[in-house]
């Protein structure tokens, strides 16, 4: 019972100290930002990074207070970071394709049925756009091949529109 009481008191003290450190850090960053004339948006980034560090240290201290073995804690943190690293790489790929498809949909002059040429030194892809999905552009080439191109590559490569579907020329 005395051990749990110590852990509870230590946890409350840790929370109070963390809040005090956050308050002091916030005032110090504001004062320093005005003194050195740091942009408000850059100050927000500094706030977020400092909060992240403070919360990480507080979480580590809280784990030690409640008896988590430091060796086990390090293994846990390294495992979490490894999973996050893999997730960020996969997420970047997925997000880049989705973002590119949104850009293609709203801002790019490509439309279904257009005849295009993908300007690439390694491949000569000329054909008609059959579909544009969240991840791929589907194209039927002049030699009747059906190819898929990731939408982020469509944004990165040069595209020549040879013939636009449904656009009449004005004379």
Q: How far apart are CA 156 and CA 153, in angstroms?
A: 5
Task: State the chain's mean pLDDT as an integer.
Answer: 83
Question: Taking residues 101-121, what's their average pLDDT?
Answer: 82
The confidence band for 146, taking pLDDT boundaries of 50, 70 and 90, is: very high
Q: Compute the distance between CA of residue 88 and CA of residue 94 in angstroms, rounded to an integer.
A: 10
pLDDT (0 to 100) of residue 58: 93
Q: Mean per-residue pLDDT for 106-110?
A: 77
**The pLDDT value given to residue 124:** 80
Tokens of 99: 């973002």
Question: Are the beta carbons of 73 and 60 closer than 8 angstroms?
Answer: yes
Question: What are the beta bridge partners of residue 158?
Answer: 119
User: 118: burial class by Cβ within 10 Å (0-12, 13-18, 19+)?
Assistant: buried
pLDDT, tens digit, for every residue of 1-60? Answer: 666 788 889 999 999 999 999 999 999 988 888 887 777 777 788 888 899 899 989 988
| pLDDT the model gives residue 126 | 92
Question: Whole-prediction pTM value?
Answer: 0.46
Strand partners, 169: none
Are 64 and 78 in contact by the 8 Å Cβ rule? The answer is: no
With a CB cutoff of 8 Å and minimum separation 6, the contacts of 114 are 128, 129, 161, 162, 163, 164, 165
Local confidence band at 157 (pLDDT 50, 70, 90 cut-offs): confident
> Has residue 89 got a pLDDT over 60?
yes
Question: Shortest CA distance to 153 belongs to which of 142, 137, 164?
Answer: 137
């Amino acid at each position: 019972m005395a051990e749990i009481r110590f852990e509870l008191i230590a946890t409350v003290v840790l929370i109070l100290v963390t809040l005090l450190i956050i308050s002091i850090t916030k005032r110090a960053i504001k004062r320093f930002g005005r003194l050195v004339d740091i942009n408000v948006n850059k100050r927000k980034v500094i706030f977020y990074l400092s909060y992240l560090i403070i919360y990480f240290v507080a979480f580590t201290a809280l784990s030690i207070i409640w008896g988590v073995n430091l060796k086990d804690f390090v293994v846990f943190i390294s495992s979490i970071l490894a999973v996050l690293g893999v997730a960020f790489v996969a997420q970047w790929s997925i997000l880049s394709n989705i973002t590119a498809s949104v850009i293609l949909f709203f801002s790019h002059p490509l439309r279904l049925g257009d005849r295009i040429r993908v300007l690439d030194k390694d491949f000569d892809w000329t054909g008609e756009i059959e579909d544009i999905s969240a991840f791929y552009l589907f194209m039927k080439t002049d030699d009747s091949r059906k190819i898929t191109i990731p939408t982020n590559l469509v944004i990165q490569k040069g595209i020549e529109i040879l013939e636009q579907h449904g656009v009449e020329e004005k004379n």
